[in-house]
Every structure is written in structure tokens, then in C-alpha cells.
Chains A and B, each alone.
Chain A
Amino acid sequence: MDTPANLIQATGLRKSFGTLEAVCGIDLCVARGQVLGFLGPNGAGKSTTMRMLTGFLQPDAGTVKIAGVDLAIDPLGAKRNFGYLPEGAPAYSEMRVEDFLAFTSRARGYRGGEVAQRVNLAVARVHLEPCRGQRIETLSKGYKRRTGIAQALLHDPPVLILDEPTDGLDPNQKFEVRQLVRDLGKDRAIILSTHILEEVEAVCTRAVIINRGRMVFDGTPKELDARVPAGVEHNRLDHIFRTLTAMNSKERA
């Protein structure tokens, strides 16, 4: 099968909630081997964009293609090609970790021995072995997040969409998740939303900053760093992030 160069291809995405324009015409292409850091202040439209990329929300305008499959034309075909970690890593709290993973495995079409195989693989990948028989509601925040990442990885998809995968984790857990994302990003297309700027430097090969539903920066972390004015030594990314998002707000005002 001819694999398209851009595994994620979103064109002219727009979404309004009543009179509020949450996303105003975003174009996004992510190729294999790219880890895209999707940045923006709270309420910038990151989660709304990701929800449109995954088919949870229907865009008012625009198209989304995942591994060349149009989400609006063949939603099931497109959904088979990505793994998604929603914001806050929601799961069925009354289920045991392995039962939850077995459910997502079956929903993805695996049967019989394949289910156990997929679950074992996902559990091993994110080091969930100590709590695989535990109920999700009894897990710590870190393990809950790992469970969410495990279900996203379970079918070994070429595309991963992770909404704030390290939010609320302790430094050790953050380190582990970032290392995992870096490893996975070598042969996948990954979009990772965050508002932690150090994450971009740590794992991303490309950064996109959005503010009030509009893209204000698209480039490599180095290009982002190059925009920092001379003389700024500390919190360089924070500085440019503030400049970009504040500038955009003023322009709009």
C-alpha cells in the first residue's frame, strides 16, 4: 500500500461553539518520524483541534485525513490508524487495567489469543505490570495516564494523538513518558498537546503554537528558540511563548 507522506493531514479546520470561534482555519500536516508539540495557552483551541482530528467533534469546515483516509468519508478506516489519549486520560474506573485494555483490543477487532498478546505488549511497553490486575479507580495519576497511553498504543498505530500526556505527572513519570514518546516517534507521526514548554525541547521535532484558534508559529524548536530576542538568557521559550500569544491577542483586539 502506498503510504502517504503526511500521516496526519488537516486542512482548514474550523469549529465554533455558539458565538465563540474556538478554531479558525487551522492547517496541520505531520509526517512519519515527526513529533509535533501542539502548544498554546489554556482555551487556545488545542483540545478542540485534537477532538476534530480524532472524529470526536465534527468540524464546521475543513477535512482531516489520517494515513490517507478521510475521517468524514471513512471514519472507521481512519480511526483504525490512530491511537488517542484524551485529555485527563478518561477510562472505565470500575474495570481492571487488563480488562479495560482487553475491551479496547476487542473493539479494535482483535480476537482470541491476539487479545491477550496485544494487552501483554501494551502493558510491557508502558511498564504497567505491577497494577495490571488492579481497578483503574484505585490507580495513581501516573498509572492512570499510562493505562490511557497503553490503550492508545495497543494496536501499534502509525499515528498517535496525545492530549497532555504528562499533565499532573511527577518528574520521574514525565521523564519516562517523554522517553517513550521519543522512541515511538521515530517511525510514527505523533501530535502531543502540552502547555509545558520544556516538553517541546525534550521530545518534539516540531512545534506549533496556537492562540485563540489561530496558528501563530509553526517550526522546529530551534527556530522557535531563534526568535528569542538577544539578551534573554533565562526561560527563553517562556519568553517567546508569551510574546507570540500576547502579540496575537493584541492584533485581534
Chain B
Amino acid sequence: MSRARDRSSKQDGAPAVAHAALVSAAQNNFGPPPTPSAFARTMSVFRREFAAYFATPVAAVFIVMFVAIAALLSFQMAGLYTRGQADLRSFFQWQPWLGMFFMPALGMRLWSDERRSGSIELLMTLPLTTRDMVLGKFLATWAFACVALLLTTPLWITIAWLGEPDHGVILAGYIASAMLFGTLLSVSVCLSACTRNSVVAFVLSVAACFILLLTGFSIVQDFFAQWSPKWVIESLASMSAMTHFNGLTRGVFDARDVLYPISVVFALLWVNVLLLDWRGSK
């Protein structure tokens, strides 16, 4: 408020002539409008979305809770110190489960809030393509998730101080976590476009992320085994986000483990664009 008052007092003091000159300078100014590149348009959306997290308590609450729960699970549940091993395996093994709840929490509002508040009408009538908006929003949210992930690096520093960990494996673990978060986030962003209710978007996203993580596990496989052909079950097994995540965190580079999250993200963002365009025609 004080900032507003400061500005207000400065503006009130400005001579009226300056105001009139400023306004009249723009009269009849129909010059050619700028034609920004796709990158510039995407970045304008990215910038707004990223700043929006820090304009509210969302950033602080999210980051504190994410780091605190990640540390709690690593120390209390997985015995980061008591295992006597200088690695972060006990930290990374919880990332999929953390992501399953935290990514939907970030992604649930992206489109549902826009639709609920009506700001989607403003956004969609700006000279931006649906692709610019989807990509800008996704990248901003993913960047924010990566900031939260980076804030857990004191664990890495601690382990490095206490022992001699394989830094390559830890780095691979962080990259795998960031990619997994991107995958889960793309699920959530896509489902957020289906409803104007954030809670519905959250619940659907958690369920979808749960299935995506566990498609390779018996809990899901058994369900499909009763009525699906074999190729469906095999396809599901190869689609498990958990399988590819575990492959990367072991520090073993397999192109499929890298291509998997990238292709899932692109496919779901493309579906997101189609969903929004389809809604525009309704």
C-alpha cells in the first residue's frame, strides 16, 4: 500500500500539461503494430505466470512444504544418514510420490482459474497463439518446480561434505526428477483445461499421475490383465514414468529414458492446445 501511496503522490504532483501532452501525443497514432516472434510471445506468458507465483504466498508455501517434506521423507522414512552410504538414493526414491501431489497442486489452477475468473477471454483475444499460451504457462510452472527442486541441493552439499558421493549419479537424479516433474505437470496442465474447478482438476491430476507412475506395476497391470489384450499390457509397462525415472536415477544413460518424458510432455501439451481450441469452437 505504501508503494501505491508513494506513486500516487508523485503522479498527483505531475503538471496537468504533461498529462495532456502525453495523451495527445498518441492521438491518431495508428502505426503498424509490432509483430513479435513466437519466442517473444511465449516469453511474455512465461514471465507473467512465473511472477504470479511470487505475487501471492503460493511460492513460499509451496517451496517450504516441498523442501520440508522431501527432507522429512529422506531422513525419517528412508534413513538418509543411518544407511551409511554417501548417496541421495533415499531422497530420489520419494520424488515420484512427492511429484504426484505437488505437481497437480501447481498445475491445477493454470487453466481452471483462467476460466473461472474470465481472464481466459482476455488472454485468448490477445495476439497470442494457443501454443504460445500453453507453452508459456507450462514452462513457467516447470521452472518454478525446478526452483523448488534446486532448493533441496543443500542435501547434496551435506552428503558431499560427509562423504565422497558419485556426483554424476546425483546430477542424473536431479535431471531425472526435473524431467519427471515436467511429465507429471503436463498431465496436470492438460486436465486443468477440462474444468473450471481447481479441486476437480487436482483430484483428476493426482489420479492420472498415480496411474502414469504405476502402469508398469502389478497393481495396474493386474487390473488390465483381466480384460485387455497382451499388447495393451506390454505398452502400459513401457509407459510407466517410474520405470524410466528409476533408470535415469541409477546414473545409467538410456536414450529411451530421456525420450520418454520429452515425448509425453509434447504429446500432452499438444492435446492441451487441441482442447483449448476445441473449447473455443463450442
Is the CB of A175 closer than 8 A to any CB of chain B? no
Set A17, A108, A133: member contacting B127, Cβ < 8 A: A108
Whether B230 is near chain A, meaning CB under 8 Å from some CB there, is: no
B22 touches A121 (CB 8 A): yes
A134 at the interface (CB under 8 A from B): yes
| Of A35-43, A74-82, A203-211, A218-226, the one with at least 4 CB within 8 A of chain B | A74-82
Which secondary structure dominates chain A's binding surface? loop
B30 A158 Cβ-Cβ under 8 A: yes
Is A187 among interface residues, defined by CB-CB distance under 8 A? Answer: yes
Known: A86-B118, A106-B47, A131-B4. A54 touches B29 (CB 8 A): no
- Say how far B113's CB is from chain A's closest CB, in angstroms: 9
Give, as a whole number of angstroms, the nearest-CB distance from B86 to chain A.
Answer: 43
Taken together as a complex, chains A and B put the C-alpha atoms of A208 and B126 apart, in Å, by 26
Q: Is the pair A92, B125 in contact by a Cβ cutoff of 8 Å?
A: no
Given A51-B121, A90-B118, A103–B44 Cβ distance below 8 Å? yes
Q: Are A90 and B56 in contact (CB under 8 A)?
A: no
Taken residue by residue from 180 to 198, chain A's Cβ proximity to chain B (1 for < 8 Å, 0 otherwise) reads as 0000000100000000000
In the bound assembly, the distance between CA atoms of A95 and B40 in angstroms comes to 21
Number of residue pairs A-B, CB distance < 8 angstroms: 133
**Shortest distance between the CB of B132 and any CB in chain A (Å):** 9
Closest approach, in angstroms, between the C-beta of B1 and any C-beta of chain A? 8
Contacts of A131 in B (CB 8 A): 4, 8
A-contacting 9-mer, from B31-39, B189-197, B212-220, B254-262: B31-39
Query: In the assembled complex, how far is the CB of residue B234 from the closest CB belonging to chain A, in whole angstroms?
Result: 40
How far, in Å, is B133 (CB) from chain A's closest CB? Answer: 9
Contact present for B30 and A107 (CB under 8 Å): no
CB contact list, B1-53 vs A, under 8 A: 1, 3-4, 6-8, 11-12, 14, 19, 22-23, 25-36, 40-41, 43-45, 47-48, 51-52
Q: Is the CB of B125 within 8 A of A110?
A: no
Contacts of B19 in A (CB 8 A): 124
A93 to B109 CA separation, bound complex (whole angstroms):
14
Residues of B within 8 A of A248 (CB): none
Q: Does B228 contact A (CB under 8 A)?
A: no
Residues of A within 8 A of B27 (CB): 187
A129 touches B11 (CB 8 A): yes
Contact call A88/B23, Cβ cutoff below 8 A: no
Interface residues of A in 78-129 (CB under 8 A from B): 79-81, 84, 86-88, 90-95, 99, 103-104, 106-111, 120-121, 124-125, 129
How far is the CB of B230 from the nearest CB of chain A, in Å? 42
A88 proximity list for chain B (CB < 8 A): 118
B226 CB-CB contact with A under 8 Å = no
A79-B33 Cα distance, complex, nearest whole Å: 10
Q: Is the CB of B34 within 8 A of A109?
A: yes
Residues of the B chain whose Cβ atoms lie less than 8 Å from the Cβ of A14: none
B150 close to A (CB within 8 Å): no
Q: A80-B127, A90-B119, A151-B122 in contact; A107/B44 too (CB < 8 A)?
A: yes
B159 at the binding interface (Cβ < 8 Å): no
What is the CA–CA distance of A95 and B122 in the complex, to the nearest angstrom?
Answer: 14
A156-194: contact bitstring with B at CB < 8 Å (1 yes, 0 no)? 111000000000000000000000000000010000000
In the bound complex, CA of A108 to CA of B34 (Å): 7
Closest-CB distance, B61 to chain A (whole angstroms): 14
Partner of A79, one of B7, B44, B48, B127: B127
In the complex, chain A residues whose CB is within 8 Å of the CB of B40: 106, 109, 111
Say if the beta carbon of A46 comes within 8 Å of chain B.
no
- List the A side residues contacting B22 at CB < 8 Å: 120-121, 124
Interchain CA distance A57-B120 in the complex, whole Å: 12
B127 and A107: CB pair below 8 A? yes
Considering only CB atoms, which chain B residue lies closest to A187 in the complex?
A: B28
**Interface of chain B residues 73 through 91 with chain A (CB within 8 A):** none
Q: Known contacts being A109-B34, A109-B127, A130-B12, is A103 close to B7, with CB within 8 Å?
A: no
Whether B129 sits at the interface, judged by CB under 8 Å, is yes
Question: What is the CB-to-nearest-CB distance from B6 to chain A, in angstroms, rounded to a whole number?
Answer: 8
List the B residue with the shortest CB-CB distance to A161.
B125
B contacts, CB < 8 Å to A: 1, 3-4, 6-8, 11-12, 14, 19, 22-23, 25-36, 40-41, 43-45, 47-48, 51-52, 55-56, 117-119, 121-122, 124-129, 280-282
Can you list 28 A-B pairs, Cβ within 8 angstroms, ordered by A?
A17-B282, A51-B121, A56-B121, A56-B125, A57-B280, A75-B127, A75-B129, A76-B129, A77-B127, A86-B122, A86-B125, A87-B121, A90-B118, A91-B119, A94-B56, A95-B51, A107-B41, A107-B128, A108-B34, A108-B126, A110-B34, A111-B34, A129-B7, A129-B8, A129-B11, A130-B11, A132-B8, A158-B30
Please name the 5 residue pairs, one residue from A and one from B, whose CB atoms are nearest each other, closest first.
Answer: A109-B34, A90-B118, A109-B36, A129-B11, A80-B33
